Amino acid sequence: MDIDVVEQKKNKIIFKLKGATHTLCNILKKELQEDSHVKVATYSIKHPLTSDPRFIVETDGEDIKKVLVSAAERIKKTSDKFLEAFKKEVK
C-alpha cells in the first residue's frame, strides 16, 4: 500500500491510500475520530473499481503526523490482541 500526500499543513492533511478498501479506511477513520485532537476525519472513494480512497484529517492544532502515527499504533495494538486471541482459540 502506498500513501500519496496531496496536501499537508501542520494540522491538516489530505492523502490517498493507494490499494486500500473501505475495510482499512473505516478502521482508520474510526480510530482518528476517537482522538480528542481530531476535528475532521473522513474519506471518500469516487468509484470503488477505479479510484483510491482520499482521506482528509484535520486537528485542533496538534501535529498531524503525531496524530496519524498514534492512530496507526492503536490499530496495530488492537490487531495484535485479536491475533493472540485467535491463536489461543483456534488450534
Domain total for the chain? Answer: 1
Pairing of strands 12-18, 2-8: antiparallel
Domain that holds residue 33: 2-89
Segment 42-52 shows an average pLDDT of 89
Segment 55-81 shows an average pLDDT of 97
- pLDDT at residue 47 in the model: 86
* Residue pair 22/30 in contact by the 8 Å Cβ criterion: no
Confidence of residue 48 (pLDDT cuts 50, 70, 90): confident
Cα–Cα dist 34/74, whole Å:
11
Residue 64 pLDDT greater than 80, yes or no: yes
- pLDDT at residue 25 in the model: 96
CATH number, domain of 11, equals: 3.30.1360.10
Distance of CA 7 to the CA centre of its chain: 16
